[in-house]
Structures are given as C-alpha cells and as structure tokens.
C-alpha cells in the first residue's frame, strides 16, 4: 500500500507503507525535510461526502443521508467535519466505525487509521509555531 505526502505547491511524494506504515511516513517526512521541503499533509482519503460513503458501502445516498440525520439506524452518526456548509464532509475513519458497529454493511477491515492520524499530526505540527500553549494541545491527546 502507498500514500502520498503533499508538498507545497501540491506536488507529491509517494510513500511505500510496507509493514511499518508509521516508520515509512516518518522516514519520508525526514527525507523531504533534509532537502528543506516541508510536507503540508498526507493524503489520507479520509474526508468523504454522503455520496462517497454510499459508494464505499454499496448503499443509496438517501440511506446514508437518513443515517446522518438520525431518521434511520440508531442515531449518533458522526457529525460533519465542516458543519453549516452546503456540502458536508465526514471523516471516513469515524463513519466506517459507526457503520461497522451499527449496521450489517461491510466496510472492510477496520485497520488502524494511520494515515488520518499522521495527517492530523502534520497539520498540528505546521500550526505549532502559532500556538502559545502547545503543551495544552498535546495534553488533550492523552486525556
């Protein structure tokens, strides 16, 4: 399996994840930074629309919409990542866990969400110079 590190200007570096995806991503980030190029994100393919979810699960978009508003299923569908926007995006990592726990639909293996987590870490790292209390942000991870 491979992933893409997104660099400034939207260029990409492919990363072979192999058997140790955390190490592969760390090594790729370090290799980029040795050349003074700082990756801005990791293409985690985690942001999905209701239509994307429907395609991945093999159900209608309408069923997914009904899950999302609590009219079908047990409720407590993961909230959108961008509430209040015309097109809502959801975290596939959160949605697939909900679907696995609450429906009979197949979402594949519930692999560890390495790419989504490493992408968030890259984003946080990029923001860290602007934060006066990075320690408080880091503590929230271990609460």
Domain that holds residue 58: 47-102
Rounded Cα–Cα distance for residues 25 and 23 (Å)? 5
Q: Are residues 82 and 57 in the same domain?
A: yes
Q: Is residue 72 domain-resident?
A: yes
Q: What pLDDT does 143 receive?
A: 83
Q: Are residues 13 and 59 in the same domain?
A: no
Q: What pLDDT does 35 receive?
A: 96
Q: Are residues 56 and 93 in the same domain?
A: yes
Residues of the chain short of pLDDT 50, as ranges, are none
pTM: 0.85
The 8-class DSSP code of residue 19 comes to T
Q: Are residues 14 and 37 in the same domain?
A: yes
Q: Are residues 39 and 60 in the same domain?
A: no
Tokens representing 73 are: 């299923």
Question: The sheet that has 2-6: what strands, in order across it?
Answer: 12-16, 2-6, 41-42
Dihedral of the alpha carbons of 98, 103, 55, 91, in degrees to the nearest 10: 0
Number of domains in the chain: 2
Q: Is residue 107 domain-resident?
A: no
């Amino acid at each position: 399996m491979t992933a893409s590190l997104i660099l400034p200007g939207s260029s990409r570096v492919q990363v072979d994840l192999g058997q140790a995806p955390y190490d592969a991503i760390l090594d790729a980030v370090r290799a980029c930074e040795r050349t003074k190029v700082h990756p801005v994100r990791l293409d985690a393919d985690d942001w999905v629309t209701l239509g994307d979810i429907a395609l991945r699960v093999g159900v209608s978009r309408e069923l997914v919409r009904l899950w999302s508003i609590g009219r079908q299923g047990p409720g407590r569908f993961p909230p959108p990542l961008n509430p209040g926007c015309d097109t809502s995006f959801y975290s596939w990592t959160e949605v697939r866990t909900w679907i696995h726990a609450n429906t009979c639909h197949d979402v594949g293996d519930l692999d560890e969400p390495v790419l989504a987590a490493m992408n968030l870490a890259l984003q946080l790292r990029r923001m860290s110079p602007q934060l006066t209390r990075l320690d408080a942000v880091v503590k929230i991870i271990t609460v």
